[in-house]
């Protein structure tokens, strides 16, 4: 490697040393413990009993809610991740323009990310109320009957997907940093060649933003697979198990029914799913992620 690459790699390792120390001290032990306990029947109150693959067999072949929770979570990820990516990038493009009170608008869009998941869930219970909620009240004024949202098994997941845009500000900040790092000379050269706004967006902005899109895509997938607070606070997995998400089912098994060994098995299955998707994205990134004008 060149001296520049060696320097960049060294700087990268130095920056992640605090995380590596924290992982070694606080995370690695519990992770190993959960892996071991996933092969035991363990209810927290008594000593673990070795059952081999029994927990995994029960999850795959006897627990119907396991597959329901996996489907609900996959549905949520499939729609919430692309929506958050598109909406976040679109708002970031608008906030990157020269408009009046730009700092105020940036603050407004980022502010919701400072509100905790529990507080946001309580707020959205009112927003999504079918009779007195903000959304249905606005729809009623324009003559559109609003759906039942969280009270309907058909609308409950779309309601939570809509709610996921509440935290789009965390992605917007990263998009803004990426947009402001694009050299303006590229846009000036494109204008001299007669490129319009859409051509500049497609041929300059999006290709140079692919590293940021790649990062936000991975973080959005990881975060979406771990959806829990909304289901626990707003719906308790209902109606008719339509919001019975994966981590919520893990919580029920481990902390309400005390099937801790089975909950540990679910945690490792989730890790394998997320790791597989992440590695697949990294492998495909060479085709669409560009650094310094070259594919990754």
256 belongs to a structural domain: yes
Instruction: Indicate the number of domains in the chain.
Output: 1
Are 71 and 153 spatial neighbours (Cβ–Cβ below 8 Å)? no
37 belongs to a structural domain: no
Are 165 and 158 spatial neighbours (Cβ–Cβ below 8 Å)? no
20 belongs to a structural domain: no
Show the domain range for 174. Answer: 56-295
Where do runs of H (alpha helix) occur along the chain? 3-22, 28-37, 54-61, 64-95, 102-110, 117-127, 134-141, 156-164, 169-180, 184-192, 197-200, 206-225, 229-230, 246-251, 260-288
pLDDT of residue 294: 52
Q: What is the CATH number of the domain that holds 84?
A: 1.10.3720.10
Q: Which pLDDT tens digit goes with each residue over 200-244?
A: 999 999 999 999 999 999 999 999 999 999 999 999 999 999 999
Residue 256 has pLDDT above 90, yes or no: yes
19 belongs to a structural domain: no
6 belongs to a structural domain: no
What pTM was computed for the model? 0.91
123 belongs to a structural domain: yes
291 belongs to a structural domain: yes
232 belongs to a structural domain: yes
Q: Which pLDDT tens digit goes with each residue over 271-280?
A: 999 999 999 9
The more confidently predicted of residues 296 and 98 is 98
């Amino acid at each position: 490697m060149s001296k520049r690459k060696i320097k960049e790699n060294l700087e990268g390792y130095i920056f992640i040393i605090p995380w590596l120390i924290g992982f070694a001290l606080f995370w690695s032990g519990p992770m190993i413990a959960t892996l071991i306990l996933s092969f035991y029947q363990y209810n927290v109150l008594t000593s673990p009993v070795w059952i081999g693959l029994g927990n995994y067999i029960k999850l795959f072949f006897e627990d119907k809610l396991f597959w329901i929770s996996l489907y609900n979570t996959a549905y949520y990820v499939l729609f919430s991740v692309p929506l958050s990516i598109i909406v976040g990038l679109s708002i970031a493009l608008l906030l990157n323009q020269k408009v009046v009170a730009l700092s105020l608008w940036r603050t407004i869009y980022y502010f919701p990310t400072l509100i905790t998941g529990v507080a946001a869930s309580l707020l959205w219970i009112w927003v999504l109320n079918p009779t007195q909620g903000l959304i249905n009240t606005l729809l009623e004024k324009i003559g559109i009957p609003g759906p039942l949202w969280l009270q309907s098994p058909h609308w409950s997941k779309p309601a939570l997907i809509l709610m996921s845009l509440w935290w789009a500000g965390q992605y917007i900040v990263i998009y803004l940093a990426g947009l402001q790092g694009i050299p303006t000379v590229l846009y000036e050269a494109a204008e001299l060649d007669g490129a319009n706004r859409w051509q500049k967006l497609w041929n300059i902005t999006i290709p140079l933003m692919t590293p940021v899109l790649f990062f936000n895509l991975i973080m959005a997938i990881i975060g979406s697979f771990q959806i829990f607070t909304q289901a626990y606070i707003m719906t308790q997995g209902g109606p008719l198990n339509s919001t019975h998400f994966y981590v919520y089912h893990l919580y029920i098994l481990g902390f309400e029914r005390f099937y801790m060994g089975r909950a540990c098995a679910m945690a490792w299955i989730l890790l394998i799913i997320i790791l597989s998707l992440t590695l697949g994205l990294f492998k495909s990134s060479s085709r669409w992620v560009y650094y310094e004008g070259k594919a990754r």
